Chains A and B, each alone.
Chain A
């Protein structure tokens, strides 16, 4: 386990380094940030001076070197537009993104697992068929369309939920979050549901497939014969084994949700880091884009690591080496 952890940590560092190189190279194509910063009729000397101040007059490789050495000292550079530390800007918006991602994830799980277990245990019933066609819809509908429809029906037509924004923010354990207030919860429902649709459908389908697989196993029949209730068999014996592939998907989906929150955040004007990314691309704000992509890469790498560890907890037969 220890060797495994060390090896994975080294891998993680290598992956992040590779991401930093790729992202930095890609930045050459996003346009020249100087022109987004100086006034439109700026003189050449003003442009040159701004370029010097932003450090853009150096060769790309030197800029990368400065970026990397800054990175190792925990300095992620200043945003060209906000003139503030890029990492701080992203951290500021991280709670907003995490809260819709977590609520979306919780919602998806709470709905998908019971429905998946039911559909898997009773494959022939009409309700199961309904659930399955619904999940197909969930997989295929694009998130932005679902979001617009929810706004149209539940915000504009029926006025049950607000259409945009984060509402009043409260504090839980020192973190500012919408989850602490009623107004915050009102605002979070639509974006979180929108974000959850794809994941919900996928988790549901995985759970069902797992359950169908598991119900055919002898130990299930044996447990039933032993007198364990149907519910007990399904959730106690079946679900536990059916969940192994679901956990992998769950982890990957979590990463996906953080990355895809970008679109949902834009539609609902949710002040998360995805919206910051879009705005930063628009403004060619290089430091923010680089730090964001590296952070998302880090999240993915960590999630994968955690999944591997979780495997062993769910199924002791799997060992990590």
Chain B
């Protein structure tokens, strides 16, 4: 008996000793954020995926900054103006400090842009001809032609410190970033934690949260568990199946926000389509394309497969974007209507339908495989037999690449983080092989001289409202022509502990500078 008691006491003590430091981890102005993956490389000109991007914007600043709703504001550049059609002048904010104490100079901006132009891993600098330092605080950026969307591109170009990059070299820069941002890197234990500390001399004032720890937790169930144990204050991509469980917990809030990622169905419109056995591709007929649009019941997909966590897309780009047309809704133009869809098929001479293959991913988008299955059963109702060709994303991008042309129907997602439909339209809808840099991923084979001309005009004006007008006109034509059927925007799901001020951003960036925790 005594022995047992002693044993038990010993065990309890041991457990407590182990558990004690764990309980005192939480501190007032610290924040721990669970991400789905670790950054791969911290060189802002070498990585592109979301986790790396989140880190980049904490440590570095762009010339032009976008807020949570993608609206422009000054960043490192206090103001900018257009000297002529092809030349922009940016005035830098005076006295901006890098984390190493150096002051930001125009030559740093020039160095950054030159380095980017020499890199192949990013095409952000395609519309920049050159950058020149006029004086310490003035940079002139020349574009190859008139180009109104330059500030869009600059919002994604983060300014490096010339002397630092030259002294540490590229490999070291990828591990130890150093910029003007609100946070500086303290420690990066790869795949375990990345710790950032508020930079006291940040030009916008010191961040409210002193220490931010980002933890990569790939497994969604583990992320939920770590939130429930209090190890995490905010989690990214809360698993859909955990939402109810987390909502039931006190002190935890679930937050959702429609993302920019538009799931689109690309219809091959070339005369001959690789997976259709007929001599002439039925989808060259606009009526067949409209029939497909009308046969897809997006509302049911969103309710049944997405658990309500999706928003039917009205156009190819979201409302906040340049090129979006107010009051136009694809769903209103082509409401779900099987009878009408069948009639259109019959009118086009395909009352008996036809068969083709749908190429889609099975590990890239939320419930992508299930959506593909639903599409197959929906299109079967108007006689279109879909054979599903599902594959992991590492195979998918190579399979659907242009110009290999394997596909008749492709489901994939597009987001335009620059907030401008122009780059997407130019890549997806511009006639192939007509102009270098355009139509490069035009997988539908769509070609319309009118759209090409509008995109040319949009890319050769230096006025943003003119660009917007041309892109909107292109949107109207595309929604009539239906080379692609917009399906839905995924919804981002986050959870945070109460007391944490956190508003999800439309661009999915988790931005600690906007956050706070209650004492």
- Asked if A53 contacts B120 (CB within 8 A), the reply is yes
Q: How far is the CA of A210 from the CA of B15 in the complex (A)?
A: 35
- A280 → B minimal CB distance (Å): 10
Q: Using Cβ atoms and an 8 Å threshold, which residues of chain A touch B437?
A: 43
- Asked if B215 contacts A49 (CB within 8 A), the reply is no
Q: Please indicate which of the listed interface residues A35, A53, A275 has the most CB atoms of chain B within 10 Å of its own CB.
A: A35
Q: Using Cβ atoms and an 8 Å threshold, which residues of chain A touch B218?
A: 266, 269, 275, 278-279
Question: Which residue of the partner chain, among B15, B222, B398, contacts A32 with CB atoms under 8 Å?
Answer: B398
Which one, B185-193, B265-273, B284-292, B470-478, is touching chain A?
A: B185-193
- Asked if A186 contacts B394 (CB within 8 A), the reply is no
Considering only CB atoms and an 8 Å cut-off, how many residues of chain A contact the other chain?
61
- Asked if A46 contacts B120 (CB within 8 A), the reply is yes
- Asked if A155 contacts B123 (CB within 8 A), the reply is no
- Asked if B398 contacts A31 (CB within 8 A), the reply is yes
Which residues B158-212 have CB closer than 8 A to chain A?
170-171, 174, 189-193
Query: Given A163-B226, A166-B189 in contact, is the A38-B19 Cβ separation under 8 Å?
Result: no
Which residues A153-186 have CB closer than 8 A to chain B?
155-156, 159-166, 169, 182-183, 185-186
- Asked if B229 contacts A186 (CB within 8 A), the reply is no
- Asked if A148 contacts B397 (CB within 8 A), the reply is no
- Asked if A164 contacts B222 (CB within 8 A), the reply is yes
Output the nearest chain A residue to B427 by Cβ-Cβ distance. Answer: A41
- Asked if B222 contacts A267 (CB within 8 A), the reply is yes
- Asked if B191 contacts A93 (CB within 8 A), the reply is yes
- A117 → B minimal CB distance (Å): 21
Q: Does B512 contact A (CB under 8 A)?
A: no
Output the nearest chain A residue to B439 by Cβ-Cβ distance. Answer: A43
Q: Using Cβ atoms and an 8 Å threshold, which residues of chain B touch A38?
A: 120-121
Output the nearest chain B residue to A79 by Cβ-Cβ distance. Answer: B40
User: How many residues of B sit at the interface, in one of the four size bands?
Assistant: 35 or more
Which residues A78-108 have CB closer than 8 A to chain B?
81-84, 92-93, 96
- Asked if A81 contacts B41 (CB within 8 A), the reply is yes
Q: Please indicate which of the listed interface residues A41, A49, A281 has the most CB atoms of chain B within 10 Å of its own CB.
A: A41
- Asked if A43 contacts B123 (CB within 8 A), the reply is yes
Output the nearest chain A residue to B124 by Cβ-Cβ distance. Answer: A39
Query: Given A186-B19, A279-B218 in contact, is the A36-B41 Cβ separation under 8 Å?
Result: no
Chain A proximity mask over B208-249: 1 for CB below 8 Å, otherwise 0: 000000011111011001101111000000000000000000
Query: Given A35-B397, A183-B21, A271-B190 in contact, is the A159-B219 Cβ separation under 8 Å?
Result: no
- Asked if B19 contacts A152 (CB within 8 A), the reply is no
Q: How far is the CA of A19 from the CA of B122 in the complex (A)?
A: 35
- Asked if A161 contacts B22 (CB within 8 A), the reply is yes
Q: How far is the CA of A184 from the CA of B296 in the complex (A)?
A: 53
- B445 → A minimal CB distance (Å): 16
- Asked if B174 contacts A83 (CB within 8 A), the reply is yes
Question: Which residue of the partner chain, among B17, B120, B123, B231, contacts A164 with CB atoms under 8 Å?
Answer: B231
- Asked if B423 contacts A41 (CB within 8 A), the reply is yes
Q: Using Cβ atoms and an 8 Å threshold, which residues of chain A touch B441?
A: 40-41
Chain B proximity mask over A248-287: 1 for CB below 8 Å, otherwise 0: 0000000000000000001111011001101101111000
Q: Using Cβ atoms and an 8 Å threshold, which residues of chain A touch B397?
A: 31-32, 35-36, 40
- Asked if A41 contacts B440 (CB within 8 A), the reply is yes
Q: How far is the CA of A162 from the CA of B25 in the complex (A)?
A: 11
Q: Does A151 contact B (CB under 8 A)?
A: yes
- Asked if A169 contacts B189 (CB within 8 A), the reply is yes
Q: How far is the CA of A220 from the CA of B503 in the complex (A)?
A: 73
Chain B proximity mask over A132-155: 1 for CB below 8 Å, otherwise 0: 000000000000000010011001
Q: Using Cβ atoms and an 8 Å threshold, which residues of chain B touch A242?
A: none
Q: Does A110 contact B (CB under 8 A)?
A: no
- B425 → A minimal CB distance (Å): 11
Which residues B251-288 have CB closer than 8 A to chain A?
none
- Asked if B225 contacts A152 (CB within 8 A), the reply is yes
- Asked if B394 contacts A30 (CB within 8 A), the reply is yes
Q: How far is the CA of A41 from the CA of B401 in the complex (A)?
A: 11
Q: Using Cβ atoms and an 8 Å threshold, which residues of chain B touch A148?
A: 221
Q: Using Cβ atoms and an 8 Å threshold, which residues of chain A touch B395?
A: 30-32
Q: How far is the CA of A275 from the CA of B216 in the complex (A)?
A: 11
Q: How far is the CA of A207 from the CA of B189 in the complex (A)?
A: 40
Q: Does B48 contact A (CB under 8 A)?
A: yes
Q: Using Cβ atoms and an 8 Å threshold, which residues of chain A touch B190?
A: 92-93, 271
Q: Using Cβ atoms and an 8 Å threshold, which residues of chain B touch A186?
A: 18-19, 21-22
Chain A proximity mask over B391-430: 1 for CB below 8 Å, otherwise 0: 0111111100110000000000010000000011001000
- Asked if A43 contacts B440 (CB within 8 A), the reply is yes
Which residues A44-66 have CB closer than 8 A to chain B?
44-47, 49-50, 53
Which residues A202-229 have CB closer than 8 A to chain B?
none
Q: How far is the CA of A209 from the CA of B437 in the complex (A)?
A: 71
Output the nearest chain B residue to A43 by Cβ-Cβ distance. Answer: B440
Output the nearest chain A residue to B16 by Cβ-Cβ distance. Answer: A160
Question: Which residue of the partner chain, among A35, A156, A271, contacts B401 with CB atoms under 8 Å?
Answer: A35
Q: Does B37 contact A (CB under 8 A)?
A: yes
- Asked if B228 contacts A156 (CB within 8 A), the reply is yes
Q: How far is the CA of A182 from the CA of B402 in the complex (A)?
A: 55
Q: Using Cβ atoms and an 8 Å threshold, which residues of chain A touch B174?
A: 82-84
Q: Does B343 contact A (CB under 8 A)?
A: no
Q: How far is the CA of A245 from the CA of B360 in the complex (A)?
A: 50
- A266 → B minimal CB distance (Å): 5
In the complex, 11 of the A-B residue pairs with CB atoms within 8 angstroms, ordered by the A residue number, are: A43-B440, A49-B120, A83-B171, A148-B221, A159-B23, A164-B217, A182-B18, A267-B219, A267-B221, A271-B190, A275-B218
